[in-house]
Structure 1
Amino acid sequence: MDTQHCFHCGLDVVKKEEIVFDGKSFCCNGCKTVYEIFSLNGLTDYYSFERSPGATPQDIKGKYDFLDNEDIVKRLLEFEEENVHIISLYIPHIHCSSCIWILENLNKLNRAVSSSQVNFHEKRVRIIFDPSVASLRELVYLLNSIGYEPYISLDNYDNKPKSISRDLVYKLGVAFFCFGNIMLLSFPEYFEMEEYWLDNYRGFFRWLVFALALPSFLYSASGYYVSAWKSIRAGMLNIEVPIALGIIVMFVRSTVDIIFGYGQGFFDSLTGLVFFMLLGKLFQQKTYNFLSFERDFKSYFPIAVTKILADRSETSIPVYDVLAGDRLLIRNSELIPVDGILMSESALIDYSFVTGESVPVTKHSGDKVYAGGKQIGPVVEMEVLRSVSQSYLTQLWSNDVFSRKGDRDYKTMTDTISRYFTPLLLLIAVMSFSTWIFIDTQTAFNVFTAVLIVACPCALALSAPFTLGNVLRIMGNRKLYLKNATVVEQMAKIDTIVFDKTGTITTNKKSEIYFEGNAPDDKQLMYIRNVLRGSNHPLSRMLYDALPMTRTLPVEDFEEVTGKGISGVVDGIHIRIGSVSFVGYEEDNLMQTNVHIAINRNYMGKYVFDNQYREGLKELFAELQKKYSLKILSGDNAGERHVLEQLLPEGTEFHFNQKPEQKLAFIENLQKKGSSVMMIGDGLNDAGALAQSNVGIAISENVNVFSPACDGILDASQFRRLGYFMRLSKRTIRTIRMSFGLSLLYNVVGLSFAVTGRLMPLTAAIIMPLSTITIISFVTLMSNYYARRK
């Protein structure tokens, strides 16, 4: 019967059932409706990325009525605010660039959606929407109406390690069954037995082998065909193309052999090939899932939170020690690490880290506050509802909102090499086949298949991900927490390192502080300490800890001006703390690190800090100067220039009185001159510079300051090991290059045997996963070896 293909989903359309709309054929009203929706909303570009990319919408009437239950919806939501809800949905049908494009343009289909982001590898879409305009159930029905029905299960939202696909296990089992039985049935052929029973039953056994090969060919190997077909339709050639081609060639050749009585064919090799490739894929998946699991659950950020004890005293505890029921103190610009209930009278929360919406939200006592918000204003207290979700913080840190354009455009080593590998491999296979077909037909097919299999670029493609994944884990164990694997490659290219001074090369824990001027009385000290309580600046924290403990009082009109100072009103008394210009006093020409105090606009004097530099600073700079250009940027005056000049090696550049915007411009100017810059700061005044630099590392020292735009967080106790981390990044790239060389050497040797007809397809199939295991073992051993070297 005459058939056409559905314009939307690509399925066959029987002529008498065909629905024609807008000059196009559709298999059903569902596909036609989706096309109408896209047409009316100007989204027909969906069909430009791939031919027939859609799926037929299913009838789900009543299926998602449970989403009217508020308790269930709250469990599913990542974030819930009055006019902003965020949910991450798993959508099995995501498979191509068209899917990404349409799902990231949901805002054009429904005005409730403000933005949507697709995670292609996990087949998830993260949707930010306004619940007052459309409910979650309505969004789910919208997704289904365009062919992207989500799979919703409360169990999927638990933080569990990824499991191996059942489909892969089933395919592997079928392949093993077919391979084992075909090998047993092929023994008489192997030994060329001519007994009576073999002469009479040879044909039967060959067709039995053919029947046993079908499940392996049609089911176990199906993933390779699907992937290769999608790749070809998208105009690309991925690593599955030569594999699928080799399997099909072997099957066709073997079938021809049996039909015309030339022999039993290569069904033993074919089923063996499928089995060993699936076994290699299982090994890759288990290993990579293990690395991903470690990354999600062991990359604890080295930040602390301030816990309020029963006697109202305060203590810093690791963020992952926070438990439900704890009472936390959140200062100005601190990240809220957990969901909780606000206990203070009111608070202003900036959720831009989570939603991208920059307008702060006002919260009142008893309201729920969500992890990921940033507290703006005076110090507040909250009670914890549940313990911290590290995987959530990792997700927040890795959010595409904070990916710089340079990061997205960065090409990895694997991208560069893999692009040319498959076309070159196909060219070699065709040329070898064309040569051998005039010499020996059977050998020609063997050569063609062996070339496609033995030169599979799996090992090449896995070298970098496994090396970088292992190094991320190693660095995390040594308390340098990097955002992603690309940062390691970028660290290896750094030639200039810029350090902030206060809180970075100086320590917050050791400093002699004394007062010059009219010393404040006990009541004034109490006011000063309460205003300091809300600030996270390193000098504020040091001074707060140095002052005697006092009664806690509410602070009104609290304000912190980045790079200048803080102010607030306590018991009607106005307190200003900060730079000399901030408190309204004439310029101080003394070169000191100090904090000035004004009470009710009366200048009182200043606290002078005798800075203590981090242990091992001199040795670290001497080590780094051999390979890097070193620079110091400081917002303080040049009072300690002479100390730094004696402490640090000759040639180190010093720049003082730098405002936050000047630090950013300084980094940008270095980059324009061709430098690859790493910025190391405390994450407060340096946020802009950290984001601008090629690699931005924030130092963390018992302060819950979180900068999503930075590329890594370094525990302050490991500051002296910065040189070690820089060497490890360079050695990681060396390991990847060595593994590339090893993989290419294996391919060259394998191809030399394959093109000369001395390598059978089954042998190639066994060698292929072994080469992958060898490469993974090599990069793991080498990266561990380099990590242990001093």
Structure 2
Amino acid sequence: MTNMTCYHCGDDCGRDHVHFDDKDFCCHGCKTVYEIFTSNGLSNFYEIETKAGISPKEVRSKYDFLDNQEIVDKLTEFNEEGVQVINLSIPSIHCSSCIWVLENLNKLHPSISNSQVDFPKKTLRVTYSSTDFSLKGLVLMLSSIGYEPYISLDEYDKKDKKIDRSLIYKLGVAGFAFGNVMLLSFPEYFEVEEFWLEQYKPVFRWLMFAFSLPVVFYASQDYFKAAFKGLKSKLLNIDVPIALGILTLFLRSTADIAFDLGSGFFDSLTGLVFFLLLGKFFQQRTYAFLSFERDYKSYFPIAVTRLNPDKSEENIQIYKVKVGDRLLIRSNEIIPVDCVLIKGSAEIDYSFVTGESQAVFKENGEKLYAGGKQLSGLLVVEVLKSVSQSYLTQLWGNLVFSKDKASTFRTLTDSIGKRFTAGVLTIATISTLFWLFYEPSMALNVFTAVLIIACPCAIALAAPFTLGNMLRIFGRHKLYLKNTNVIERLAKIDTAIFDKTGTLTTTKKDTIIYEGVELTPEETILLKTTLRASNHPLSRSLYDILKANEIATLDEFEEHTGKGVVGKLDSHTIKAGSSVYVGEGVSGDSIAETAVYISSNDAFKGRFVFKNSYREGVSNIFKALGKSMQIGILSGDNDGERKQLQELLPVRTQMHFNQKPEDKLNHIQRLQREHKVMMVGDGLNDAGALAQSDVGIAVSEDINVFSPACDGILDASQFDDLPLFMELSRKSIQVIKMSFVLSLCYNVVGIYFAVTGQLQPVIAAILMPLSSISIVLFTTLMTNALGRKISMKKGTIDSFSTS
């Protein structure tokens, strides 16, 4: 079959190739989207960016829960007088074409009055008339054009949570006050002695005082709170000297204008707070749209289908499921509770829970656990435990998920802040004692001057701007970290532990090896035709690699769930499936291998063995990391690929297989007694280990879909850059230390003026903003220089020296 790309989405056209309107499509879904667009005046979609569409998925009854009005009321932001407003997460938004289509939804349905895309957050806000349209209709329409919304139990719970915009308000207040105070201070800087200055000088000064009030008592309140908590806990954090400096600046400046001693330091005060808040804002805004706190709620459906005693079906909220209820589980749906199988053939994918990549087959009467996905067919199950008591929920009940790593980790800024605070207070005390004996009238001025000029604004800015910019650079190269604290922890890692399935291996492709008697061309055609009718994952993978120039029409086809498939053409029969199914028996079957056995006319021919395909550069990653740290493997899979891993890993690497989630968590805990541990995983089965580790990195084929609670999300395409990211983290800490040295130079100069009693407002007005601005510029230039090393790839990082 000739390979061609889909006109709509650009994917390869495989066996479901559709030709329509002189164009090729990979499936009927893409063809349908094309028809919708062209018939509704949206054909410009393909002119903006070719092949930018998204291949739609089959939705069917997946969103029946949106018929439940109670759920709709909870999800919608506004629902009054026939008008509803909904904010939906659309993970597949990726380009300008997506924005154009989604903001022209009114052309697809007249009930939609407005639709607006927030591209960074990948959300769509839609206003529509609910009299002749519904939320379910909207979701199905979006899915039909390839933009299926992401609606989870977690999103359902978040609707009542308010967004905290307090930092934006505080930054705005500080910026407004800073600009006005600087403007009012200019006459004082240039010592203008004209009549208007002398006449209006008190007015200018008291205006500056007025502008400083909201800065001190509102914009900077977080620093006072943090300083108070630090002192209460007997800790001298960096917020103590900042709060002390702000308070001293305000009190000293107020006294100066009240007793006509000068204009005070209101410009330095407002500027200090503004730059500090700017650094915090810059840090907070960097990739804030990614969710790092995902748990089972992000994975579970909002509602399920319950079978009532009268055999009617009802969509109910998942929290209303009770023990004894009977639920309907459709193909590709998540099992939300621990239950027992009543009817149907269960083929369960537990990879997100256990890490085992091979599907598990269950018969009637057997127990099913929450978190598994039914791969094919319809199931009827009876609930054994409610959602809150199920296995997966209990896994999340572990105390490790409630701990805050950032609160227990002592940052470089806090470590230096303790020494800095002690040093400043010592200098201020000694200087004051000296002036009490030499010139008592100068003592108070010297004491306050030291506290003012030594305020660690530059030190406080160094880490937020350095690490904040590194967050942005990492994000640009598809490593998305939770916060700047993670970079500091990453720099201290000395042990790296990896999950295997989905982390070291890719889900995009399998390595398939044939063992046995070579198939004839006729057998290959018949096998490929038989596999074409099967939807089993192994059948589809095997179909894609088989070479055949033609597809025949079968006389007979049967698929036996959990066993295999059989196809007949004329007098020739071919079977594909388990060893028992094709008649080879259990002797040739190895539980450590995934294989599809083949027989032709009941004569065994051979088997296709499926090997995990490891990501490109895995060997190089281990080689680079092995130079500076210990490496280990924790896998939920069996040890069938131990030998293959031994060839990739450094000698003496510890490998542990058949690990349950709690086993992984406990192993990380044991290592942490002596080491700083990074865990790299991908699924729910790794969630406990990711949360327990000093740094947890989730590897994802798509950063917008489900990933477990973690400190960072690494796009799988950049997996081979992991050693480089870790090296850059260590270099970032060096940049911060250099910034501290630069800041110390400013403080030495400033303290000289303060201790000798020569500190004037104009000196403070020059030194304090200058130190802040130069630190910001220095850290930005240095981190950008580091960022360029990612583009230069591996092997070049060592050529950069920050010394």
1:239 aligns with 2:231: no
Residue 530 (structure 1) aligns with: 535
Q: Once the two structures are superposed, what CA deviation does each residue of 1:309-355 show, in whole Å capped at 9, x if it has no partner?
A: xxxxxxxxxxxxxxxxxxxxxxxx9967999999xx99999989xx9
Equivalent-residue separation in structure 2 for 1:741 and 1:415 (angstroms): 16
Residue 178 (structure 2) aligns with: 172
Contact 1:753/1:759 (8 A) holds in 2: yes
Equivalent-residue separation in structure 1 for 2:286 and 2:158 (angstroms): 35
Q: Where do 1:303-318 residues align within 5 Å?
A: none
In structure 2, what residue type is equivalent to 1:671?
Q
Residue 759 (structure 1) aligns with: 759
Going from structure 1 to structure 2, the CA distance change for 1:337 and 1:406 (only over 3 Å counts) comes to: same
Secondary structure, in 3 states, of the residue corresponding to 1:217? helix
Q: Where do 1:363-512 residues align within 5 Å?
A: 376-378=373-375, 404-419=403-418, 421-422=420-421, 425-426=424-425, 428-440=427-439, 443-512=442-511
Q: Once the two structures are superposed, what CA deviation does each residue of 1:524-579 show, in whole Å capped at 9, x if it has no partner?
A: 7468x5353xxxxxx8995686589999xxxx999xxxxxxx89999xxxx99999
Q: Once the two structures are superposed, what CA deviation does each residue of 1:434-455 show, in whole Å capped at 9, x if it has no partner?
A: 4324434664454334312211
In structure 2, what residue type is equivalent to 1:175?
V
Contact 2:690/2:696 (8 A) holds in 1: yes
Identity %: 39
Secondary structure, in 3 states, of the residue corresponding to 2:462? helix
Residue 632 (structure 2) aligns with: 631
Equivalent-residue separation in structure 1 for 2:418 and 2:759 (angstroms): 26
Going from structure 1 to structure 2, the CA distance change for 1:541 and 1:445 (only over 3 Å counts) comes to: farther
Residue 220 (structure 1) aligns with: 212
What is the deviation of 1:771? 0.8
What is the deviation of 1:729? 1.4
Residue 777 (structure 2) aligns with: 777
Equivalent-residue separation in structure 1 for 2:498 and 2:676 (angstroms): 14
Q: Once the two structures are superposed, what CA deviation does each residue of 1:4-59 show, in whole Å capped at 9, x if it has no partner?
A: xxxxxxxxxxxxxxxxxxxxxxxxxxxxxxxxxxxxxxxxxxxxxxxxxxxxxxxx
In structure 2, what residue type is equivalent to 1:187?
V
Secondary structure, in 3 states, of the residue corresponding to 1:615? coil
Equivalent-residue separation in structure 2 for 1:740 and 1:665 (angstroms): 39
Residue 717 (structure 1) aligns with: 717
In structure 2, what residue type is equivalent to 1:171?
A
In structure 1, what residue type is equivalent to 2:177?
K
Residue 743 (structure 1) aligns with: 743
1:252 aligns with 2:252: no
What is the deviation of 1:785? 2.0
What is the deviation of 1:456? 0.9
What is the deviation of 1:75? 5.3
Equivalent-residue separation in structure 2 for 1:489 and 1:287 (angstroms): 17
Q: Where do 1:142-153 residues align within 5 Å?
A: none
Secondary structure, in 3 states, of the residue corresponding to 2:288? helix
Q: Where do 1:561-576 residues align within 5 Å?
A: none
Contact 1:481/1:712 (8 A) holds in 2: yes
- TM-score, with structure 1 as normaliser: 0.55
In structure 1, runs of 5+ residues without a counterpart are 1-65, 79-125, 137-149, 189-197, 259-264, 304-332, 382-396, 533-538, 559-565
Secondary structure, in 3 states, of the residue corresponding to 2:713? strand
What is the deviation of 1:358? 14
Secondary structure, in 3 states, of the residue corresponding to 2:759? coil
Q: Once the two structures are superposed, what CA deviation does each residue of 1:700-741 show, in whole Å capped at 9, x if it has no partner?
A: 235976223222222222222121111111112222222233
Equivalent-residue separation in structure 1 for 2:185 and 2:202 (angstroms): 11
Contact 1:489/1:729 (8 A) holds in 2: yes
What is the deviation of 1:774? 1.6
Equivalent-residue separation in structure 1 for 2:532 and 2:437 (angstroms): 97
Going from structure 1 to structure 2, the CA distance change for 1:624 and 1:77 (only over 3 Å counts) comes to: closer
Q: Once the two structures are superposed, what CA deviation does each residue of 1:443-493 show, in whole Å capped at 9, x if it has no partner?
A: 445433431221111221222222221111111111112222222122112
Contact 1:277/1:768 (8 A) holds in 2: no
Equivalent-residue separation in structure 1 for 2:651 and 2:228 (angstroms): 60
In structure 2, what residue type is equivalent to 1:766?
I
Going from structure 1 to structure 2, the CA distance change for 1:170 and 1:676 (only over 3 Å counts) comes to: closer
Equivalent-residue separation in structure 2 for 1:418 and 1:486 (angstroms): 16
In structure 2, what residue type is equivalent to 1:677?
V
Secondary structure, in 3 states, of the residue corresponding to 1:243? helix
Going from structure 1 to structure 2, the CA distance change for 1:183 and 1:579 (only over 3 Å counts) comes to: farther
In structure 2, what residue type is equivalent to 1:216?
M
Equivalent-residue separation in structure 2 for 1:753 and 1:681 (angstroms): 55
What is the deviation of 1:767? 0.6
In structure 2, what residue type is equivalent to 1:450?
A
Equivalent-residue separation in structure 1 for 2:750 and 2:323 (angstroms): 57
- Cα RMSD of the aligned pairs, angstroms, is 5.8
Q: Once the two structures are superposed, what CA deviation does each residue of 1:236-268 show, in whole Å capped at 9, x if it has no partner?
A: 646133333234234424544x5xxxxxx322x
What is the deviation of 1:363? 9.4
What is the deviation of 1:637? 4.4
Residue 610 (structure 2) aligns with: 609
Residue 664 (structure 1) aligns with: 665
Going from structure 1 to structure 2, the CA distance change for 1:405 and 1:336 (only over 3 Å counts) comes to: closer
What is the deviation of 1:213? 0.9
Going from structure 1 to structure 2, the CA distance change for 1:513 and 1:713 (only over 3 Å counts) comes to: same
Going from structure 1 to structure 2, the CA distance change for 1:698 and 1:597 (only over 3 Å counts) comes to: farther
What is the deviation of 1:127? 12
Going from structure 1 to structure 2, the CA distance change for 1:380 and 1:346 (only over 3 Å counts) comes to: farther
Equivalent-residue separation in structure 1 for 2:468 and 2:696 (angstroms): 20
Residue 651 (structure 1) aligns with: 652
Contact 1:677/1:694 (8 A) holds in 2: yes
Equivalent-residue separation in structure 2 for 1:589 and 1:379 (angstroms): 24
What is the deviation of 1:692? 3.1
Equivalent-residue separation in structure 2 for 1:407 and 1:241 (angstroms): 24
Secondary structure, in 3 states, of the residue corresponding to 2:492? coil
Contact 1:350/1:375 (8 A) holds in 2: no
Residue 5 (structure 1) aligns with: none
In structure 2, runs of 5+ residues without a counterpart are 1-76, 90-153, 233-239, 306-311, 335-369, 379-395, 518-522, 554-558, 567-574, 790-795, 797-803
Residue 686 (structure 2) aligns with: 686
What is the deviation of 1:608? 1.1
Q: Once the two structures are superposed, what CA deviation does each residue of 1:632-653 show, in whole Å capped at 9, x if it has no partner?
A: 3344444444443344332333
Residue 322 (structure 1) aligns with: none
Contact 2:625/2:723 (8 A) holds in 1: yes
Contact 1:681/1:697 (8 A) holds in 2: yes
Equivalent-residue separation in structure 2 for 1:625 and 1:379 (angstroms): 42
Secondary structure, in 3 states, of the residue corresponding to 1:436? helix
How many aligned residue pairs are there? 546
Residue 513 (structure 1) aligns with: 512
In structure 2, what residue type is equivalent to 1:432?
S
Contact 1:660/1:688 (8 A) holds in 2: yes
Secondary structure, in 3 states, of the residue corresponding to 1:239? helix
Q: Where do 1:124-143 residues align within 5 Å?
A: none
Equivalent-residue separation in structure 1 for 2:323 and 2:688 (angstroms): 16
Contact 1:462/1:776 (8 A) holds in 2: yes
In structure 1, what residue type is equivalent to 2:174?
L
Q: Once the two structures are superposed, what CA deviation does each residue of 1:354-382 show, in whole Å capped at 9, x if it has no partner?
A: x9x999997999xxx9xxx989545799x
